[in-house]
Amino acid sequence: MTKRQISIGRPRSFEKDETLDRVIALFWCRGFETTSYSDLEAATGLHRQSLRYAFGDKAELFRRALDRYARRKTAEILSALEGGETPLAGLAEAFRIWARDAGTNGCLVVNTLAEKGPSDLAALDAARLATSRLHEGFEAAFRKAQSRGEIRSDVPPALLAAQAVAIGDGMMVHSRGLACTVSPDGLLMAFLRLLKP
């Protein structure tokens, strides 16, 4: 294969990723059911036939967008957990990301489960994988924080991880339509303060 042949293939891959990012933004804001092909055409600049050729029908396009979103968002949270100066700082930063998202469009995976329910196997698969990875990341962070004496040690790290993810998911759903008297950031930080030794 020549260098010219290699270079020809790369822009198509890049354009698909860019298109998926635009699709993610649209589904994240509007949801699956209320997003029409006209909306998708306007957001991507592509005709529906081009979208179908590249990604499949609307359901398949949504599945691919959801998978991409879930992988990227999970990686962002895990990076925050692992990148703090201390384990507790990493936990706080992960919570800040959740609070930021709750203040905008919430979480696309959580939104999809709330919109479509357990019948959507693509959403369930994305949610299971993301939740499993988040549980592992939070459990490791809580364990490290306990070993350093940053948080109380009488609660199993796995339970703390499950609580953290449940709070985050619940906050995402709550933020979509209900007024909250406590800011998302304040709610999550209050959880960490309760864990002080």
Domains along the sequence of the chain with CATH? 3-194 (1.10.357.10)
Distances (CA, A) of 25 to 16, 33, 159: 14, 15, 33
Spatial distance between the Cα atoms of 41 and 109, rounded to a whole number of angstroms: 23
Reported as a single tens digit per residue, the pLDDT across 50-107 is: 899 899 999 899 999 999 999 999 999 999 999 989 999 999 999 889 888 887 878 8
The two three-digit tokens of residue 183, written as one number: 């800011």
Distances (CA, A) of 104 to 41, 71, 146, 189: 23, 19, 32, 18
Spatial distance between the Cα atoms of 184 and 76, rounded to a whole number of angstroms: 18
Label residue 180 by pLDDT band (50, 70, 90). low
By percentage, how much of the chain surpasses pLDDT 90? 45
What is this structure's pTM? 0.81
Spatial distance between the Cα atoms of 98 and 105, rounded to a whole number of angstroms: 11
